[in-house]
Structure 1
Amino acid sequence: MLRVLVTGAAGLIGGEVCARLVARGHRVTALVRRNPDVRGNDGALVTGITVVRGDVTRPLMGLDPDPQDVVIHCAAHLDFDAPEVELHAVNVAGTQNAIDYARAAGARFLHVSTAYVCGDGDGVISETPVPEGTRFTNRYEASKAAGELVVAASGLPFAIARPSIVLGDSATGRIRDFPSLCNVFRLMARGKVTRFPAARNATFDLVPIDHVAAALVALAERMEAVAGGYFHLVGAQAMPVAELAHGVARVAHFPNPAIVLPQDYVPEGPLAQRMVATFGPYLTRNPRFADSALRRATGLRCPPTDRAWLDRLIAYGIARGYLPLPPV
């Protein structure tokens, strides 16, 4: 049994990680800020845990340190467009506060970053520290890369886990909270975006929540063996960006968005403008994230992230009422 403190425990990843840790017999302390409910991806409250209120922007996260074996640091500011000072307060200074707590608690440190600290990198992206001189496409990426540097310089036994774009369960498509990328599906399904920009070879790396949570638990249970490692928690295969529009087009009651090259795209309104402002750099690149280090360390392989999975994600969004229902 491990004693594990999970920050960001009310979030999508943190909640599912807490549920899986408890199921494996570990003693879990769940750090929340405002929302006291810790729920797994199935939406059920996680029981058998200790919920504490804290704030990663405060020294020691506002807690009196309790002995822990591992701190899993999931808490993060996820808004690409947030002011730099806000992102730094949570993703960099907040990471330092979590490290200081882990040191006082005698814990190893498992840091949840993002695969997209690769910035504008294309081609094969290795499971190594972010190269000096990397050009980031938004302030969020830059803040997460800076957070990794804080972890690496901490002197604690650490591992860095880098999920890509986290979506629904591999088998069912279920997701407790729809992340920002799902708004792209929503805009196309509602006919607000009828022309979708995508470079010919551009890909998204989309990963099911169950693979991410299973990998984080597996790394937490192997912290002595994986110390100092960087691990990509990514899809089995990258998905062509154009496949997002194709997935919408396969639903009978949705429109059929036309795919155009980014240089030929003219936004159709403020919502489409916001979509391009947020995701524009991701519509033109083809990073391919190596995950051999994760597979060697844990034996885990991501389930297929293919067209059938995308169809399950869209079907779940319709069933939940997030995407438009068929006309009566």
Structure 2
Amino acid sequence: MKVLVLGATGYIGGAVVERLVERGHDVAVLVRQPRTIDGVEDVRTGDLADLASVKAAVTEDIEVIVHAAVLTGDRAHDLATVEALGKPVVYVSGVWVLGPTGDGHEESPVNPIAIVGYRPEIEQAVLGRGGIVIRPGVVHGRGAGIVSILVGQAAERGVGVYVEGENKAPTWTFVHVDDLADLIVTAVEKGRPGAVYHGIAEEAVSVAEVAKAAAKVAGVREGAEPWPVEQAAEVFGGPFADALALSQRAGARRTKEELGWEPGRPGALAELVEGSYRSALS
């Protein structure tokens, strides 16, 4: 299958490209500047901020587009981009669109927090054209992602910290980036048009426990302290601080049943203490 990947040099998109190549797909990527990507000969240049360049990259031979790129922040432009792609799209969104939830699933109503405020509109634009939406939890692995921020904060502050808002014991959903890549490629291969799938391997992990593990990795005083969201906002800005304080419990039962997806990489705590974050810090 000929697959065009948007966001191919990013955290998630890079893993998706690797998996597509491994499974024998013919991969094209859209990048801002020409560069070499292992296993990919078809490198096309363009920018999501330039709609004409995106349209030019979607040639007749493209069968499916994986949209794993960060949105530009311009609602009208991002909607126009999805509407102009003209091919089936597998769009990587996220469970933050559900807002605070204690029982999130693929059919749950959306209630997005500010940082992903118009993302449900992007989802609907994709679904309305027969595309597929993937909603991962907090993505970890390969020493990167939001978890690495907690490691950095622990190293800076000398103790683990987690952002605390109204919920005094926040939990996050998690998925390893390589398990997520497996899911996205499986959706490309056999996903149902118009479906929403959840990329969630762990339904509710205590953020305090993650912060404790981050402190251990950083080699600082063990433990974790709450960090008021108002103070975190001074460092990260209000929308992202609110996202870090968000408490969610959500699952992927239908996704696993329908696509046969079986995430098997280490969970967030194990990956922190024993895996890629320790080696990334050293």
TM-score bucket (shorter structure): 0.7 to 0.9
| Cα distance in 2 for residues equivalent to 1:69 and 1:196 | 43
Deviations 1:201-236 (A, max 9, x none): 31122211111100000000014xx11110110133
Is the aligned partner of 1:63 residue 2:31?
A: no
**1:293-324 residue CA offsets vs partner (Å, 9 max, x unmatched):** 210222112235253233135xx33433xx3x
Tell whether the 8 Å contact from 2:133 to 2:195 is kept in structure 1 after alignment: yes
> Aligned AA for 1:146?
E
Contact 2:171/2:204 (CA < 8 Å) preserved in 1? yes
**C-alpha separation in 1, matches of 2:16 and 2:176:** 13
Distance 1:308 1:194 in 2: 16
Change (3 A) 1:276 1:193: farther
**Contact persistence 2:203–2:250 (CA under 8 A):** no
Distance 2:117 2:263 in 1: 27
Question: Identical aligned pairs, as a percentage?
Answer: 25
Greater fraction helix:
2
Relative distance call for 1:70 and 1:283 in structure 2 (3 A) is closer
Q: Alpha carbons of 1:297 and 1:35: their partners in 2 closer, same or farther (altered >3 Å)? A: farther
1:53 to 28, 38, 45: 45
**CA distance in 2 between partners of 1:126 and 1:252 (Å):** 34
Shift of 1:67: 2.3
Structure 1 counterpart of 2:138? 165
The CA distance in 2 between the partners of 1:292 and 1:258, in whole Å, is 31
Letter in 1 for 2:172: F
Between Structure 1 and Structure 2, whose CA radius of gyration is higher? 1
For 1:74 and 1:97, how far apart are their aligned partners in 2? 13
The residue aligned with 2:171 is 203
Is the counterpart of residue 290 in structure 1 residue 251 in structure 2?
A: yes
Structure 1, unpaired ranges of 5+: 39-45, 78-85, 169-173
- Give the alignment partner of residue 234 of structure 1, picking from 184, 188, 200: 200
**Any unmatched runs of 5+ in structure 2?**
none
Question: What's 1:281 paired with?
Answer: 242
Cα distance, 1:7–1:249 mapped onto 2, change above 3 Å: closer
**In the TM superposition, what is the alpha-carbon distance from 1:87 to its structure 2 partner?**
0.6
- Code of the aligned partner of 1:88: D
1:307 aligns with 2:269: yes
TM-score normalized with structure 1 length: 0.74
Write the letter of the residue equivalent to 2:60: D
**What is the CA–CA distance in structure 2 between the aligned matches of 1:217 and 1:253, rounded to whole Å?**
37
Secondary structure of the residue aligned to 1:76 is coil
Superposition map of 1:78-93 within 5 A: 86-88=72-74, 93=77
